[in-house]
């Protein structure tokens, strides 16, 4: 009888310990998930589902038949300068689930270094000169009025807590901004959960869309949008949008999942240059995600006059290599496979000198 009672108590104790262990693991996991990454984002986990406070495109409708007013209502762009009719039709027809940013209530902040600031040697212990790899076209006399491109998000995994940003944008990388950009951030999530049976390691890549306007007095930091997936084809654009006071329309669309966002931003943007490329965020302080190769398709800009071209179709232009000294002999990443004279089709390759120092001095 006594043995039976002890056995029952032991069973209850084991069950209680199991419950306590599960609760402890859940709390540790929750704490790990809310620890912010080095890349500063508006919220750590980007929502997947569209908010319900803005108009969603009607199911079964063909957006290519919409009027200009209807396109604007559902956050869809009109036909962009230089964009083929087939590409525009594919983009808007795949737009199914609209993500809506909440109204901003943030207090004004100073312009941020990192993803959007020009880079200088004393700020960047790793990149020194350039934390960006891609193409830039300058139009100093006639402001740019649009830039657009598309790419496929690579299915790769990086080292723990590494990050890379793929973007298109306005603003001269040799200048002081303000900058306006839109793209996708790739981050390798890594954390350890202690358990009675030993540590559990979580290690996986995540991808989310974002935009950033460093000229916005209320939100100069990264604003994260819906999550995207590896293998998704995404289309991104920035285009002049009247009327004032928000003359820029910014959007990114996943043709694979149908999720997209659009937003209008203010006028304080450096429109003297446009660019497409990949960046090592946080002034290079955070290790770079090994993204392999990114293929930019139809990376084109329009300067509001009569010139529509890839970045190398403008003069001056710049081929940026991600390296300590802009040296083409040992870059960590650089534009390659430029398959058109004006540079509208090209790759950014991260495998030329990998990993970056100090692990590899090339």
Is 261 domain-assigned? yes
Q: What angle do CA 336, 327, 331 make, to 5 degrees?
A: 50
Is 26 domain-assigned? no
Is residue 64 packed enough to be buried (19+ CB in 10 Å), middle (13-18) or exposed (0-12)? middle
Is 322 domain-assigned? yes
Task: Report the distance separating Cα 43 and Cα 291, nearest Å.
Answer: 23
Rounded to whole angstroms, what are the CA distances from 306 to 110, 145, 220? 36, 11, 32
| The two structure tokens encoding residue 88 | 């525009």
Query: How much is the mean pLDDT over the chain?
Result: 76
Structural domain of 159: 36-349
3-state helix, strand, coil in the chain (%, to 5): 15, 35, 50
C-beta separation of 148 from 167 below 8 A = no
C-beta separation of 311 from 136 below 8 A = yes
Q: H or E stretch including 300?
A: strand 293-302
Query: pLDDT value at position 260?
Result: 94
Mean pLDDT of 106-128: 38
Query: pLDDT value at position 217?
Result: 74
Is residue 196 packed enough to be buried (19+ CB in 10 Å), middle (13-18) or exposed (0-12)? exposed
More confidently predicted of 5 and 339: 339
3-state secondary structure at position 105: coil
Is 7 domain-assigned? no
Mean pLDDT of 295-301: 95
Query: pLDDT value at position 150?
Result: 96
Is 176 domain-assigned? yes
C-beta separation of 290 from 158 below 8 A = yes
- Tally of domains within the chain: 1
Q: Report the half-sphere exposure of 123 (CA within 13 A, side-chain side).
A: 15
pLDDT at 138 exceeding the cut of 90: yes
Is 4 domain-assigned? no
Task: Report the distance separating Cα 333 and Cα 3, nearest Å.
Answer: 70
Query: pLDDT value at position 79?
Result: 86
Chain mean position to CA 266: 20
Is 266 domain-assigned? yes
Give the CATH number for residue 173.
2.60.120.700
pLDDT at 151 exceeding the cut of 70: yes
Query: pLDDT value at position 331?
Result: 65
Query: pLDDT value at position 6?
Result: 35
Task: Report the distance separating Cα 154 and Cα 23, nearest Å.
Answer: 36
Structure letter (DSSP) for residue 86: H
More confidently predicted of 269 and 330: 269
Query: pLDDT value at position 354?
Result: 53
Is 20 domain-assigned? no
- Global pTM exceeds 0.85: no
pLDDT at 123 exceeding the cut of 50: no
Task: Report the distance separating Cα 171 and Cα 248, nearest Å.
Answer: 13
The label of the residue with tokens 């069973």 reads 11
- Pairing between strand 334-336 and 273-279? unpaired
Mean pLDDT of 209-224: 83
Query: pLDDT value at position 288?
Result: 82
Tens digit of each residue's pLDDT (9 = 90 or more) over 231-257: 999 999 999 876 566 688 999 999 999
pLDDT at 128 exceeding the cut of 80: no
């Amino acid at each position: 009888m006594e043995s039976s009672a002890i056995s029952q108590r032991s069973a209850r104790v084991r069950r209680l310990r199991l419950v306590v262990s599960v609760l402890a693991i859940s709390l540790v996991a929750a704490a790990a998930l809310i620890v912010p990454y080095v890349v500063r984002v508006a919220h750590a986990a980007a929502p997947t589902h569209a908010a319900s406070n803005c108009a969603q495109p009607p199911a079964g409708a063909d957006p290519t038949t919409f009027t200009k007013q209807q396109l604007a209502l559902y956050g869809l762009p009109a036909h962009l300068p230089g964009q083929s009719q087939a590409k525009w039709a594919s983009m808007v027809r795949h737009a199914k689930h609209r993500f809506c940013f909440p109204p901003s209530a943030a207090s004004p902040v100073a312009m941020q270094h990192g993803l959007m600031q020009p880079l200088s040697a004393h700020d960047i212990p790793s990149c020194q000169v350039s934390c960006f790899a891609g193409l830039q076209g300058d139009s100093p006399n006639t402001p740019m009025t649009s830039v657009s491109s598309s790419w496929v998000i690579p299915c790769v995994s990086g080292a723990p807590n590494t990050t890379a940003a793929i973007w298109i944008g306005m603003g001269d990388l040799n200048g002081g901004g303000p900058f306006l950009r839109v793209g996708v951030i790739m981050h390798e999530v890594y954390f350890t959960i202690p358990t009675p049976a030993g540590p559990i390691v979580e290690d996986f890549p995540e991808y989310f869309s974002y935009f950033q306007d460093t000229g916005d007095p209320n939100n100069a930091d990264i604003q994260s949008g819906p999550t995207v997936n590896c293998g998704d084809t995404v289309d991104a654009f920035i285009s002049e949008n009247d009327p004032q006071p928000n003359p820029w329309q910014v959007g990114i669309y996943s043709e694979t999942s149908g999720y997209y966002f659009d937003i209008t931003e203010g006028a304080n943007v450096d429109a003297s240059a446009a660019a497409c490329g990949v960046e090592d965020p946080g002034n290079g302080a955070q290790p770079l995600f090994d993204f392999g190769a990114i293929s930019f398709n139809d990376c084109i800009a329009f300067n509001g006059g009569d010139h529509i071209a890839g970045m190398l179709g403008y003069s001056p232009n710049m081929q940026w290599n991600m390296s300590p000294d802009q040296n083409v002999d040992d870059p960590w990443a650089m534009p390659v496979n430029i398959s058109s004279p004006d540079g509208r089709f090209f790759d950014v390759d991260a495998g030329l000198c990998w990993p970056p120092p100090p692990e590899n001095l090339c």
